[in-house]
Structure 1
Amino acid sequence: MRFSDAVRFLWSEDTKVSRSMFPIFERYTRGADPIIRLVAIEVSEVTANVFFRSTMSAALQLQQITQTEFRYFGTRHNHIENTHTLHTPASMQIMKEIEVSEEVRQQALELIDVAFEYFTDLVNEFLVYIKTHSYQEPFAKVYESERSLTSV
């Protein structure tokens, strides 16, 4: 894929929700209490774990069919996700012992609600993309829009 096509895809309507992730998490974490930052990380991690467990079978089948390793959706990334040092028994015990003020607790709960709503929208964006694009031509709409621009 040409760089211009990749940029066109990244800024297309197909990736609108994906692009909104950074501003959403930045709004909640910039200058926030470290607990809020930890909550943002944990929400992302637990969502990723559910996503990768749900897609692992399909990714492995696709790898076998195409004889191509899908590093992000295959076993390599899943292994990395499941071996973070944050989830060691010692780290988990430390997190259990942290006292949190009611204000920080309410902020964390709001972040959790917003983040899971975002991740639901993100997975729905993925689903729409999968239903409207083929594996053989995953970026066909990018090329179609380019052709229409060159005919002007």
Structure 2
Amino acid sequence: MINYGFYQVPTNNKIQLILNQHAREDGNHWKWFIEDMESLGFNCQLAMNDALSFLWHEETKISRLVTYELYKYIAEGTAIEKLIILESIEGVADIFLSSTKKVTDELQLTTNKEYKYFGGLHVAAEQEHEAHSDDMHEYIQTLCIAAENRQHSVYLVEKVFELFYSMESRIINLRQSLCGSINL
């Protein structure tokens, strides 16, 4: 989604340039996710039909729906609305990664494996984004959302958090039904 929804060229729009830079910086994080899934032992071999059944099963529908709905808002959004959505997703990621980093730091002590996506490398990469530079932060602070667009902007922020909350709740419920209760 980051490479196809947020990235647009050519552009001379300052906000779109920020989105493009962010997309370039985040565009390969999925590779860390794949590596971590391998390190965590989740790369099981499945027959093609089993893999497709897993991907398209009713139980995993929520992750597809979240992606589709986010993409819809991104595709329909103005540059500033896309920035609002991106920063909201980043907010969700900050919350998620702060939790997973604690777990992977502990896990690393026993496995001696680095967990790039769920661990410190991803957290550090997020903090080092050019969008988090002082100049970019100052520019973003100067952006003004027209009064008639503020309610929709708030809606977008709330929707992003709601979508991810729904997905995480569904994943936890699925995990509990398959494996018993989780002690967090």
Which category describes the TM-score, using the shorter chain as reference length?
A: 0.7 to 0.9
Q: Equivalent residue for 2:78?
A: 33
Contact kept, 8 Å, 1:36 with 1:104, in 2: the verdict is: no
Where do 1:1-150 residues align within 5 Å? Answer: 1-2=45-46, 4=48, 5-133=50-178
**Greater alpha carbon shift after TM alignment, 74-83 vs 58-67:** 58-67
What is the Cα deviation at residue 45 of structure 1? 0.2
Identity %: 28
Paired letter, 1:93:
E
- Give the aligned CA root-mean-square deviation in angstroms: 2.1
Which has more radius of gyration? 1
Q: Distance in 2 between matches of 1:12 and 1:36?
A: 32
Instruction: Output one character per residue of 1:14-43: Cα deviation in whole Å (capped at 9) or x when no partner.
Output: 322211122211222214211100001000
Paired letter, 1:98:
L
Structure 1 stretches of 5 or more lacking a match?
Answer: 135-152
What is the Cα deviation at residue 97 of structure 1? 0.7
Paired letter, 1:2:
L
What is the Cα deviation at residue 107 of structure 1? 1.6
C-alpha distance 129-61 of structure 1, shift in aligned 2 (>3 A): farther
Contact kept, 8 Å, 1:39 with 1:112, in 2: the verdict is: yes
Q: How many residues align?
A: 134
Normalising by structure 1, we get a TM-score of 0.76
